[in-house]
Structure 1
Amino acid sequence: MTGATGRPPRIVAIADTDSYVKWAAALLGAEGERADAALLVLETPLVVSDAQLASALAGSGLARDRVERIAHDRLAGRLADLRPDAVVLGARGPLVRVLAREIAELQPRPVLVTGLPGISIPATRKAVVYRLQCDLFVVHSRREVRDFGALSARTGYTHRYALATLPFARGAAGAAGAAAAGTRAGATDLVFATQAKVPADREDRLRIARLLVAAAQADPSRRVVVKLRAAAGEHQTHVERDGYPELLATLGALPPNLVTSTAPMARALASAEGLVTVSSTAAIEAIAGGVPVIALDMFGVSAGLINETLADADLLAGESDVIARRFRHPDPEWLDENYFHPPAADDWTQVLARLIARRADGALPPRAPFARRGGALRDAWERRIALGRGDRSASGAVAYAIGMPARAAVRLANRARRALRRGVDAGTGAVASATAGRPEEAGDLVRGEADRRLRAGR
C-alpha cells in the first residue's frame, strides 16, 4: 500500500471512547511501517482518561508519540496540516456521521474508513446508515461481511465492506487447537467480562453478581476477577447503569477471593483459567489466547443480547457450569467464519490501497450522507449532541436552545401516543390481529421503530 507520492500512506484515525480508541490503535498499529499512522483522540463527553488511553495503546503497536488529544474546533486545521490519504473514523454512529460530513469537505478529500470495534452480529441498519458517507466499512469476520452485505442489499444502503482480523484475535494460531491444550499452567482466575448494556435490567445484573459471589465461595483458593471497563469517574463507549461494584456492594460481605480489576484485558486473561461473559468481545480475545469461555445462557439468545454468534460457537452454559468452572472451547467449524479466518483472507488494506489510488487520480467520487430533514440547523443539532461541550460553535448553541424544548415536546407526545395505543390494544387486541399472519407488515413496524431509534447509534 502506497500513498500519493510512493511513500507509505498517511492514515489518521479519530476516536474518542475506550473501545474505539483500542480498536483504532490496534488496527493501525498492526500496519507497522507499511503506513504512516497517527491517532487523534477527540475530546467528547465520553473521551478516554489517560489511564484508559494507556491501556488501549498497550500492545497495540502504535507508539504513544503518534497519539494526540485534540478539540473539535482544531480538528479540521490539524487534518489540513497532516494531509492524510485516509481517515479512519472510530466512534459511535452519531459522531461518525458528524465527522464524515465535515471531513468530506476537505480538499483534497481523504478516503473515509469506518468500522465497529467488536462482535457486530447481528448487522444493524443504524450501524450502516450512520456511516453511509464513508468509503469503506471494515468488518471482522466472513459472517459479518456476508450479513452486512445482505443488509445493504435489502435496504438499498450500499457500502463497500472489507475484512480485517479483529485486532484482539491476531496471533491466534492456537485457537483451533485450544480444546486439546488442556489446563493452562498457573492460570487459575475466573474472569468475568462486564458490559455496560448487556444485560440491561438491574435484576438480571444482580443475578450475575450473585452468581459471581457463589463462584468465589465455591473455591476460596481461586480468584473470581470482575474485569471492569472503567474505573470510577471514567467513561465508556456505552453509558453503564447499575455497575457491578455497586451491585456487589448491596450483597453484604464479599468473599476475599472476589476482586475487581481495571487492568487491560490481555493482562487479566494471562492469569485466567477461563472467561465468563454474556457477549463481550473479550470472548474473542480469550479464544485467541487459548482461554476457554462460558457465554451465559441465563437470559436466552437474542439480537439484543448480542450473543447469537457465541451460541453458534457452542459456548453457552449456565450458572452451575460457572460455579464448577466447566469452561468451553469453540466448535472448530465455527472459527473460520467467525473472527478466526486465515490472515490471507484479510483484504481491507488492499481495498484501501485501491481507494487511495483512485483518490490520487481524482477518481474517487463523494458519497452522499443519509438524507434528513432540517438542513444546516439539523447538522448543528447533531454536532452538538454528538460532541456535547466539545462543540463550541454559535450554530450549535442555537440549535441546542431550539432543539431541546422541541425534543422534549416530541418525546412527551410520543409517550402520550404510546399510552393511548396501549389502551386501545388492551381493549381490542387491534395490533395483534392486524399483524397476525402478515409478517411482512409486522416487519415494517419493526423497521419503523428502528428508524425512530437511529439517533442512539452503534
Structure 2
Amino acid sequence: MSAETANPLKAGRKMRIVAIADSDSYLKFACATLDALGPEWEREVLLVRSPIQPTLEQMTAATAGTFLHGRATAVIPASGLRTALAGADVVLAAATGPVVEEVYLHAAALTPRPALVSGLPGVAFPATKKALRYRALGDAFVTHSHAECRAFSERAEDLELPQRILVSRLPFLSSPAAPMPDPAPLQRVVFAPQAKVPVEKDERVAILQALAALARRTGFTVRVKLRAWAGEPQTHLEQYPFDTLWNDMVKARAVAGHELEFCTGSMAEQLVPGTAMVTVSSTAALEALDAGLQVLILSDFGVSDEMLNKVFDGSGLLGTLEDLKAGRFFHPEHSWLRDNYFHRQDVPLGHVLAIYAEWARAGKLTLDTDRLAATRKRRVRLRLRTLLPTPALKAIRWVRQQQRDSDARRMEAERAAQGLPA
C-alpha cells in the first residue's frame, strides 16, 4: 500500500462500505476492520444466513468494543445480497471462501460495480491457491503481515490473478509496533483452542491433562477460552470439543474437575495483566502478544502447515507440554515481530479502500469475462451452504442446543454427586 498515500475522501462526501460475514471469527474481523475506518465512512455489517451463523453470545463477543457494540447484526439470506449491496462503493467479503464467491457474483451484477475486497480473519498460513480461487473476482485481498503478503503474492502469480495483495495490520491489534512486555507477575493462564488442530482425541486430552497439572502445581487460575460451546456453530468443525472431553475426564475420575475453568465471550476480556497464553495455533496468540503477555505455542504435535503453526517457527514462542506443566512461557523475538503482524502501518487501510471507492464510482473497475463465467459454473456448489431453507437451519441449531443442554445437565449432576460446587 505504498503507491497512493493521499486520502481521496472528498469533504462532505462519505464513501459507503458493506461487509458481509458468515461466522463469529469473520464477524469479529469485519467489525474491527470497519471500526478502524472512522466516521468518514458509511459502514454496515451484515451476516449471511448459513449453518455456521454465530449465536447471539458469539455476536456480542465479536462486536465488543466496535461501532456495533450493543447493536444487533442483521441476518440476510444469500438471495438478498444484491439488494443489500446496492449503492456500496466497497464490499468487504469477510466470510469463508464459498460465501465470498457468492457475494462477489451478486456484487458483480451491480452498476456501477463496487470494489470487491476480502481477507482472512487471523493467521492466514499456509497461503493456499484454494483461498484465492474462491476470491478470484476480487480487486484486492488483504493480508496481515509482510510474510503473508509474499506468500499470497506468489499464489496469485501462479493463478495469474490480477487482484492486488495488500498488507494491513490485523484490526484488533492496537500496539503501534513491537509491544512492551507486561511486568505483572504471572497469576493465571488462558488456553485458546483451535477447532482444527490438534486432530487426534488423545492429543487434545494431553493438553487438558497438562493444563490441570499446571493448575495443581502452581495454584494459578487456568481458563479454557472457547470460541463456542460443544455443538454451537463456528467457522471450522471441531470433532472433539475441549469442554466435552473435559466432562468425560471428570466422569472417568482422571481429574478432579475443579482445576480448569471454561468460558466463551470476548478474548480481550481474558488478556489482563498477569496472564499468559497457551495455544497450538490460534490467532489469539497475537492478541496476547499485542497486550505484552507471555505466550507458549505447543510444538509437541508438530510445527508445520498442517498444524497451522508454521508461522511461529523462529518466533521464540515454541515450547512443549512439559513447559506448560512447569509454567514456562515466552516473549517473542523482535525480528520475528517485524515480519509477522507487528510491522508499522504507514498507510491506513481506509486510505487505500477510499482509492478503490473512487475507482468504483468512476466506473473504472471491470471484470474479466472468462473468469466471471468460470466462477458462475461453481455456483451450484455454493447453494447448499448459503441457501439452506430456514426449517433445515432451525433443525440443525435445535439438535446442537439439545446436545449442549444434555451435556450441561450431565456435568451438573456429576459435580453434585461428587460434592463439588455447580
Fold-level similarity (TM above 0.5): yes
Please report how far the alpha carbon of residue 299 of structure 1 lies from its aligned counterpart in structure 2 after TM superposition.
Answer: 1.0
Q: Alpha-carbon deviation of 1:63?
A: 4.7
The question of 1:149 aligning with 2:147 is answered no
Contact residue 296 and residue 319 of structure 2 kept, 8 A = yes
Q: Which residue of 255, 260, 271 maps to 1:269?
A: 271
What is the rounded CA distance, in whole Å, between the counterparts of 1:304 and 1:104 in structure 2?
Answer: 34
Question: Is residue 140–residue 165 contact of structure 2 (8 Å, CA) maintained in 1?
Answer: yes
CA distance in 2, matches of 1:240, 1:101: 30
Matched, 1:45 2:26: no
The aligned residue for residue 78 of structure 1 is 84
Relative contact order, higher structure (CA 8 A, sep 6+): 2
Q: Per-residue CA shift, 1:313-350, capped at 9, x if unaligned?
A: 11100112111211101101111111001121x45333
1:228 aligns to what? 226
Q: Shift in Å at residue 200 of structure 1?
A: 1.5
Q: Which amino acid aligns with 1:360?
A: R
Q: Any conservation in 1 of the 2:223–2:262 contact (CA below 8 Å)? A: yes
Post-superposition offset of 1:174: 5.9
Q: Which one-letter code corresponds to 1:95 in the other structure?
A: V
Counterpart of 2:293 in 1: which secondary structure?
A: coil
**In the aligned structure 2, how far is the partner of 1:156 from the partner of 1:218?**
55
Q: 2:88 is matched by which residue type in structure 1?
A: P
Which range is displaced more, 206-215 or 46-55? Answer: 206-215
Deviation of 1:6 (Å): 5.4
Q: Which runs of 5+ in 2 are unaligned?
A: 1-6, 393-422
Residue 354 of structure 1, CA deviation: 2.1
- The count of residues paired between Structure 1 and Structure 2 equals 382
AA partner of residue 51 (structure 2): P
- Structure 2 CA distance, aligned partners of 1:258 and 1:66? 32
2:124 paired residue among 106, 109, 120: 120
What are the equivalent positions in structure 2 for 1:15-414 lying under 5 Å apart?
15-65=21-71, 67-80=73-86, 83-172=87-176, 175=179, 177-178=180-181, 181-182=182-183, 184-185=184-185, 188-219=187-218, 221-251=219-249, 252=253, 253-270=255-272, 273-344=275-346, 346=347, 348-367=349-368, 378-389=378-389
For 1:367 and 1:25, how far apart are their aligned partners in 2? 30
Q: Percent identity?
A: 36
Larger Rg: 1
Check conservation: 1:132, 1:369, Cα contact below 8 A: no
What does 1:407-426 align with in structure 2 at a 5 Å threshold?
A: none
Q: Which amino acid aligns with 1:106?
A: L
- Residues 15 and 42 in structure 1, CA contact (< 8 A), matched pair in contact too: yes
User: Does structure 2 retain, via aligned residues, the 8 Å contact 1:213–1:254?
Assistant: no
1:189–1:222: 8 Å Cα contact kept in structure 2? yes
Change (3 A) 1:368 1:299: farther
CA distance in 1, matches of 2:271, 2:81: 36
Give the partner amino acid of 2:302: G
Distance of 1:362 and 1:200 partners within structure 2: 48
More moved, 251-260 vs 313-322: 251-260
How far apart, in 2, do the equivalents of 1:12 and 1:373 lie?
25
Retained in 2: the 8 A contact 1:4–1:360?
no
Any conservation in 1 of the 2:195–2:237 contact (CA below 8 Å)? yes
Runs of 5+ unmatched residues, structure 1: 393-458
Task: Give the aligned partner of residue 411 of structure 1.
Answer: none
The CA deviation at 1:278 is 0.5
Q: Is the 8 A contact 1:8 1:34 kept in 2?
A: yes
Structure number having the greater helix percentage: 1
Per mean C-alpha deviation after superposition, the further-off stretch among 328-337 and 57-66 is 57-66
Aligned to 2:25, the other structure's residue is in SS state helix
TM-score scaled to structure 1, two decimals? 0.78
Which runs of structure 2 are paired with 1:431-450 in the superposition (5 Å)? none
Q: How much has 1:189 moved relative to structure 2?
A: 1.3
Check the 8 A contact 2:18/2:43 in 1, yes or no.
yes
Aligned-partner SS, 1:294: strand
CA distance in 1, matches of 2:314, 2:369: 36
- Aligned CA RMSD, in angstroms, stands at 2.4
Secondary structure in 2 matching 1:33: coil
In 1: Cα distance, 2:391 partner to 2:383 partner: 7
Residues 259 and 59 of structure 1, relative CA distance in 2, 3 Å threshold = same
Three-state SS of the structure 2 residue aligned to 1:250 is helix
Q: Distance in 2 between matches of 1:63 and 1:23?
A: 14
